[in-house]
Structure 1
Amino acid sequence: MRDVVRRTAAPDLVRRIEAATPPDRDRAVDALRALAILGVVCGHWLVTALVADSGTVHGASPLRYMPALTPVSWAFQTLAVFFLVGGRVGAKGYASARARGESYGRWVGARTVRLFRPVAAVTAVWAVAVCVMAASGVEQGTVRALGKLVWSPLWFLLVLSALTAATPLVARLHPLWPLAVVLHVDLFRLGFDGPASLGWINVAAGWLVPYCLGAAWARGELSDRRTGRVLLLGGAGATAGLVLFAGYPASMVGVPGGTLSNLDPPTLAAVTFGLAQCGAALLLLGRLRRVLARPAVWAAVALLNLSAMTVFLWHQTAMIVVTSTVLFAAGPVPGLHTLPDGPGWVLARLAWLPVFALALLLCRSAFGAYEQRRGGGSTVVRSGSRSRTPESHRV
């Protein structure tokens, strides 16, 4: 009887989500955000290792020991697509707010609350966890390694919130302007041995490039096919040239022990690679729209978007919980606690990914409500109401 109820409930949920979606909603935009989130999650799970050694745990990366895995960073470093979608949604949202007569302060305040309410939950949980680990005598290096995994991705939310707040100023800025800033910053700090601190200008300028592209997309200034081809070919060609002839790393994420990271802070190579990704995203729009016409596929994308920030904030915690639980129960095992220095580790890690995903689903069940509270989520899943659907998947 329980199985019958489950089979009945699932189609009902799909129907309610389909009925609650406005006909003019561009579902492909939500799909791009979902793909970007999944890229970040899978990328972190694949290139992050927690190595158990003499009673301590420290971080390591398979990219350091197996450079042949570098293409993994090309597939899963998808932040540019997230900022592209963020720029489109931010520009359209601000334009809609102005049309309704809503003040800038109220608009940016509502978006900031939606963005950071889930952060409060993960902060509180990890503050308690750190205190418990310290009181239990866990080695400080282990605490720092675990904390770094959880807190380091939060820079992304700070940058996104800053760009969102600046939307009225940057919405009509041509992407070539921040791209020129990144070019000159890299020229001075890398070509002329300028201060390394100059690179932090690129944290804003680098991600402003795809954000401004998204704003231009919202204004209807981008052609899905033509602009997509230009960005894909131009960005890929520029990135290849920078890697082959200008000394930039081939990996699009940081590699421990490397002399230069493409992501910390963003380099010109990371930005041009992001442009190529944005081009590929635009080229995918038509195919995504056709696929998302299927109610079941759209429901899956919609549900992931409803918990996008929860998934982003808790995916490292899910990996840490699995890693720690297995370590205490069974000791060091391949793919979780061993040095990521060979194909055996890769195969073992792939086998652990479904376990990480299950732990993440549990985290979503426990903490997803902080993202979907009144004013921060959608009523689509709960009531099928159309009234708040336009707000449901904003980030």
Structure 2
Amino acid sequence: MNALRRAAGSIEARTPAHRDRAVDGLRALALLAVPLGHWMLGGLTLDAGDGGLHNASPLTAFGFFAPVSWVLQLLGIFFLVGGYASVLSYRRRTGSTAGWLRGRVARLGRPVLGVTAVWAVLLPVLGHGFGVPQDTLRTATTLVVQPLWFVGVYTVVTALTPYCERAARRLGVWAAVPLLGTVAVVDALRYGPYAEAVPSWLSLLNILPGWLFAYQLGAAWAVGRLGRREAWWLLAGGGALFAALLLVCGYPASMVGVPGEARTNSHPPSLLVLALAAAQSGAAVLLHGRLNRLLRRPALWAPVVLVNLCAMTILCWHQTAMLAAAVPAAGLLGAVPGLTGAPDTLGWIAARLAWLPLFAGLLVLVGRYARRLEAPWTGSGPARRTAAALLAAGFAVYVFG
């Protein structure tokens, strides 16, 4: 206990006085919601024939579980603080815009390249060396790729930071309204009376404006154009729109995809996602001061710092941590409640909660080594970097082939 206090005190002593602790706290909260959401809202089933694992969801059996996804879907908060931090970083840059952007993209890309290169090696080892069924390997790659789409979208959004900053200075929060309107129009086309005549690819038009919405709000916050008055409007307006879309317009209640359902809110984002992001953003701005004061306590601030330092490791490797428990269990024990058993009973929910500490422990263990992939690869020669890129490309060919 004394060692923990000393560590927390050391982190506190090294924290600059001007550090915005609330923003870091919000980012940590949104980050931790990603693995918790995937671990609780995603399950596995075991094929009785070849013993392969397949994706499943407790939301298929338990519709009442959908409101849990409202709490665990915090990507709106993540994009909000991302826009806030990126604009401040961009305004403090000492070099060119291109140099600033290269640095940001490199920090996002290295961990993705690392996890995909490692899995390119693991696939043949697991398949040929340990006899893991091909269905299990396909399921594993799907789960590994699942959080990586976010990095690609976030990279594109980050590249738009200079434009978001200029729009925020001129228009404030109103700069986000056209993005909301674009998503509303696309939703009206794909879910309206003439939906059958609308091509399926039209929904992809929601990807950029859907996730840029909260980022643009963060840019407005960073330049001082999103204050308490605007935050109250976002909270009230987002909450009212969310309720109307659910109760009147028939949007699915779950914020994540449910197998077998014709409509989904998440891929690509629907108007319901933006309504939730607006309400979350308003609440975050309103709670900013209180959260800043709360995180003045070293015992609370220290874990926030650690989570932020391992952000990309958590994002890229949390599904690998779960698979490190599930794949051996499927081969040795078969259907294990809460792990490889079907998520169709209340007992599964209780069992999955019991497995969470193991998943977290495995993530810490994996992250101890994977964390190195976030640092600049200064000690690696061109040959190693080329090999990593080729392995990552091979993994992509396997996934999409």
When normalised by structure 2's length, the TM-score is 0.88
1:106 matched to 2:99: yes
Q: Which amino acid aligns with 2:298?
A: P
Query: Which of the residues 108, 113, 121 maps onto 1:120?
Result: 113
Distance 1:186 1:332 in 2: 40
1:178 matched to 2:189: no
Aligned twin of 2:188: 187
Distance apart, 1:108 and its partner CA: 0.5
Count of aligned pairs between the two proteins? 365
1:91 matched to 2:92: no
Runs of 4+ with >6 A deviation: none
Aligned twin of 1:68: 64
Query: Which of the residues 301, 321, 325 maps onto 2:324?
Result: 321
Query: Which of the residues 8, 18, 21 maps onto 1:24?
Result: 18
Q: Which amino acid aligns with 2:150?
A: F
Structure 2: which 5+ residue stretches go unaligned? Answer: 168-174, 379-401
Distance 1:158 1:120 in 2: 12
* Contact 1:33-1:81 within 8 A present in 2 as well: yes
Distance 2:251 2:330 in 1: 37
Query: Which of the residues 75, 97, 103 maps onto 1:79?
Result: 75
Task: Give the CA RMSD over aligned residues.
Answer: 1.6
* Contact 2:165-2:223 within 8 A present in 1 as well: no
Distance apart, 1:371 and its partner CA: 1.9
Query: Which of the residues 118, 125, 129 maps onto 2:122?
Result: 129
Structure 1: which 5+ residue stretches go unaligned? Answer: 1-6, 376-395
Q: Which amino acid aligns with 1:56?
A: G
Aligned twin of 2:359: 356
Distance 2:132 2:337 in 1: 22
Distance 1:132 1:171 in 2: 47
1:345 matched to 2:326: no
Distance 1:207 1:125 in 2: 29
Query: Which of the residues 200, 213, 223 maps onto 1:196?
Result: 200
Distance 1:221 1:89 in 2: 15
Distance 1:242 1:288 in 2: 30
When normalised by structure 1's length, the TM-score is 0.89
Distance apart, 1:374 and its partner CA: 8.1
1:239-254 residue pairs with structure 2 within 5 A? 239-254=242-257
Q: What are the superposed Cα offsets for residues 146-203 of structure 1, whole Å, 9 maximum, x if unpaired? A: 1100012111000111111111122233111111111111122221312221111111
* Contact 2:329-2:340 within 8 A present in 1 as well: no
Aligned twin of 1:296: 299
Aligned twin of 2:170: none
Q: Which amino acid aligns with 2:223?
A: R
Distance 1:258 1:229 in 2: 34
Query: Which of the residues 364, 370, 374 maps onto 1:371?
Result: 374
Distance 1:26 1:56 in 2: 47
Distance apart, 1:132 and its partner CA: 1.8
Most deviating of 16-25 and 295-304: 16-25
Distance 2:302 2:177 in 1: 37
1:156 matched to 2:150: yes
Distance 2:224 2:55 in 1: 44
Distance apart, 1:328 and its partner CA: 3.2
* Contact 2:8-2:302 within 8 A present in 1 as well: yes
Q: Which amino acid aligns with 1:71?
A: P
Q: Which amino acid aligns with 1:129?
A: L
SS at structure 2 position matched to 1:176: helix
* Contact 1:172-1:216 within 8 A present in 2 as well: no
Q: 1:307 to 1:213 in 2, by over 3 A?
A: same
* Contact 2:44-2:343 within 8 A present in 1 as well: no
SS at structure 2 position matched to 1:341: coil
Distance apart, 1:269 and its partner CA: 1.1
Distance 1:373 1:296 in 2: 30
Aligned twin of 2:140: 146
Distance 2:4 2:243 in 1: 46
1:169 matched to 2:154: no
